[in-house]
Structures are given as structure tokens and as C-alpha cells.
A and B are shown apart, each in its own frame.
Chain A
Amino acid sequence: MKGERTTEPEYSRMTIPFGPVHPALKEPVHLAVAVRREEVVDVDIRLGHVHRAVEALAETRNLVQNIHLTEKVCGICSHCHPTCFTQAIEEIGDIQVPERAVFLRTLIAELERIHSHLLWMGVLAYEMGFDTLFMYCWRIREGIMDLNEMITGNRIAKAMNTIGGVRWNLNVPTERIRRVLKDVEQSTQYINRVLEDKTAKKRLLGIGVLSRDDAIRLCTVGPVARGSGIKTDVRKDDPYAAYGELRDSFSVIVRSSGDVLSRAEVRILETLESVHMIDALLERLPDGPISQSGNVLALMRKIPRGEAISRVEAPRGELFHYVRTNGNSGVERLKIRAPSLANLASLKPMLVGNEIADIPLVVASIDPCISCAERVTVVNTETNKTHIVDVAHLRRSKKQNGQP
């Protein structure tokens, strides 16, 4: 077989464009996949189709407006970005967040993790051609969406965070939450059984393998890293919000095979862990105020000039924000490093050597949230210095080069 491959003429190598428009992708990303018959030989990843200049826009808005801006970076992880941002602001301004607010932030964060993983399970089933499981997963997810709507007033744009606290109090009886979670738990165990069965396993086992060394070298985060044997989780390594107190109510799920099935197992078991964590959280929820007293505009003006970083475990991995305020309730620089950006580079070792039929499954298994990953950095290779450009600068430089 190997001898046959080397004597094959080069025209048997074909480049098929996977994306930006493709039914298998949730968001546009361009993968130029070079195939030879049914085997993938090379992958070229090109981003840029959903670039919305969020970091440049953040410089034109004040802090409270920026909380809502960061929420719109991604719809699925729409609570982690504001949480990360407000944590950075609170660190700069040295604001103590009340206990109840911290717990409520964690509650919504875990609900979001469950909803994101259920969405992902549905997408994985859809890539396999398993429409019924896709409908099933998203039907279970509706319970979580209804909870979001009852607590915060909106299914996705939760707008939960504000500087120094949260905006919506828990007005849903805990019985209701527990009932939804029981439903989620039973359904997740059902989904686990279905995905462990022979026909589904045939599609997932041994596909898209990422070895532990590759995972460390390419700086993968989140379930992609945990599926390849690296034990890393911001909630345990560097606890934020209420995770320090809930440390004993959840464990980090790690699998060592590094293929699509292990990543699926990591996410399914993480969902079950989140369910247990919310149960423990609801028992320990303290009473008290949920935000700072006073006008949020006045609070904003008190934030001095400074810089801070903040890390949060989004459903897809470690989310990282760097914020520099200008002391005038504005932001001088916001840098977002989303987990999907870190995981995208691992697509190449995962895809090479697999069949075309596996491409959608492997791409879905890293749970790409391309909307989070679109940030532009200009690297000046001569001086090896990097600087961030905003939209006006790009437009000016394009005009200089003679383009309209």
C-alpha cells in the first residue's frame, strides 16, 4: 500500500474547500483540505470570516456598555465573556462582590456549561447523520433555556453581570431548578448509552487522535486537552467566583485516548458534574445583597487607571481577558484570547491521516466557536514586534496601498 502511494501521480491530490459555507459548520471557517481519494493529506486553516472588530469597538465605549459588548462576542458562551470582563474590572477597582452575587454568577455559568455541552452533543449527532439524537439533545436543552428565561429574562442574552454584582436575583423556586436538572441528568445518561453503542462507536473511536505531546505543544485548552490526558481546569487550578468553595463538589474529567470519543466522554461527564455542582450550590446559596449600592454610573467613574487579567473556564476551555482602563470610565485596551483560537491549531495533526467522512466529526469535536476566535494581530516579522490595529488604521493602510 505504501509503495502504491509513492508512485501515484500528483493529480490524484485534490483540494476541497471545507467551508466557509458548509452544513457541518456552525460558524464560517475556511479549511482548505487536500485529499488523496478519501484520505486527508493536509489542512490549511483560514479565519477571518466573522471578524467584527470587537476589541476596537471596546475602546469607544464606557465600562458598562463594554459588559454588554463582550456578551455579544459569542451566543453560546455569552456569560463567560462578561464574567471575565467584570472580574478584571473589579480587580482594577478593588471592588468586593457580595457572596450571593458570586454564587449566582457561578450558577448561571454552570447552567451555561450544561447548555453548551448539550448543544455540542446535538451537533455531534447531526454530523454523524443521527438526526433523531440531535433533536433529542436540543429538546432537553430547552429546559435549561427556560430556566435562563425565568431567572434573567432572556434565553441567551442573559446580561447577568454588572460591575460589582449581578442584576437579576433568583426568583425561581429551587424545586423547579432541581426538576429540570434531574431531567437533564437522566437524558445525559441516555445519550451516554447511545453514544457508547456499537454503530456510534464505529464512527467515533480512533478518529482525530491528538497525542498528549501534540496537545501540550499546540497549547490546547479545555475538553480538547482533557481528552488527551492533560489535567487542566481553571476552576480547580485558579479558582474564581464561587469555585473555591465548591471545590469538593466536582472533579476534573480526564481521558487519555485523545480521539473524538474521549472528547465526547469528557463533555458528557462534565455535564453530569455540573448538575451535581448546581445541586451543591443551591444548598449553600447565601442570602444578602446581589449588587453594590448606588448608581452604576457613579461606580464606573471610581474605577482608576490600571490593568488586570482574568481567566475563566468557558465550556470550551480557558478564556483569557486583558483589560486596561483609562481612569475615565473607558477602556484603553481589551484583549480577548478565546479557547477556540487555542484549539484551532490542533486541527492539523488531528485531521491528517483520516478520511473525508471524519472531517465534520473532528472539526465538531474541538467545539469551534469561531465568533470567539476572530481577533486580528499584526505581526511585523522584521522587527518581531506585534501591535494591534483597529478598523480605522486598517482602512487607512488599505488606502495607502492603493486599494479602494
Chain B
Amino acid sequence: MKRVIGVKLGDMLRDALSSVLGKPVTVQYLTKSGETVPVPPNFRGVIRYDRDLCVGCLLCVRICPSGAITAVENRKVAFYLGRCLFCGQCAEICPKDAIELSPEFDKTAHERTELSVR
């Protein structure tokens, strides 16, 4: 019995004590200046829309699962990030590569109008 308790006590205790001496794994996101979460380059973040490349085929409007893309005047589209799932289907289907999902993930706003990408 003592050996069984010893094994577990030893394991957990060793882990606990080594954690005290080591560095915490918390990422001090924004509480330490300049510290941010590392994201890989293909992270699906905020949408970048190149208006000039867009030809107004409206394929993205048809395929968006949540209806976040609406057609606006001049045969262009507008994206509403409040409904966007960041699935990337619009970027995949655009024949002119006018839509791109950037690795930026920090897009917060005080007004809903700020969440619109035109």
C-alpha cells in the first residue's frame, strides 16, 4: 500500500514542485505590453476585401453559411463580421481572389457598424 501511495504522491508532488520552479504556461496577453498569442500564418481571421478586384459575380453571397455577405450598390459586396463564421468558403470560391482571411484575430468594436468590411 505504501508503494502505491508513494508512486502517486511522488508523481504528483514532483510535478507540482517542478511547476513551482518553472515558468507558468499562461500567455500574458495584453497584460504584459507587446505580448500576444502566436498564430500560424494560415489562421482564418478577419476578412480582407479588395474592392477593385471584385467583379460582382455574387458567388460568395450564395455560399456563405450564415448570410454575412450582402450585395451592395455598384455590384460589390459588404461583409458583416458579426455573423461571419470565418469558415473561408467565400475566399475559396471567389474567382478573382478578391477575398482573403488574414491572420488577424483581434477585431472588437463598440458599434455594430464598425464590424462591417466594405
Contact = CB atoms under 8 A, between A and B. Distances in A.
Within 8 Å by CB, do A and B touch in the complex?
A: yes
Interface of A: 61-62, 64-66, 68-69, 72, 132-133, 136, 139, 142, 149-150, 153-154, 157, 159, 167-168, 171, 190, 193-194, 197-200, 295-297
Nearest to A171: B42
A393 B65 CA distance: 24
Contact of A153 (B1, B44, B63): B44
A83 B37 CA distance: 30
A133 B16 CA distance: 10
Nearest to A190: B11
A34 to B, nearest CB: 36
Nearest to B45: A153
A153 B43 contact: yes
Contacts of A72: 85
Contact of A68 (B7, B25, B89): B89
Contacts of A154: 43-44, 86
A157 B40 contact: no
A199 B101 CA distance: 50
B13 to A, nearest CB: 10
B22 to A, nearest CB: 12
A296 B93 contact: yes
A193 B62 contact: no
A295 B93 contact: yes
Interface string B76-96: 000000000111110011000
Nearest to A65: B65
Contacts of B59: 297
Interface in B49-80: 59, 62-66
A65 B44 CA distance: 17
A150 B88 contact: no
Contacts of B11: 190, 193-194
Contacts of A171: 42
B12 A132 contact: yes
A168 B1 CA distance: 52
A68 B66 CA distance: 9
B4 interface: yes
A329 B4 CA distance: 61
Nearest to B89: A64
Interface in B1-39: 1, 4-5, 7-8, 11-12, 15-16, 25, 39
Contacts of A194: 8, 11-12
Contacts of B89: 64, 68, 296
A141 to B, nearest CB: 12
B4 A64 contact: no
Contact of A198 (B1, B63, B86): B1
Given A190-B11, A193-B11, 14 more contacts: A64-B65, A136-B15, A139-B25, A150-B40, A167-B88, A168-B42, A171-B42, A194-B8, A194-B12, A198-B1, A198-B4, A296-B89, A296-B93, A297-B62
A192 B102 CA distance: 41
Given A149-B43, A154-B43, A167-B92, A197 B65 contact: no
4 closest pairs, A vs B, by CB? A197-B8, A68-B65, A65-B65, A153-B44
- Most interface-central of A142, A153, A159 (chain B CB within 10 A): A153
Given A132-B12, A194-B8, A296-B93, A159 B88 contact: yes
B87 A197 contact: no
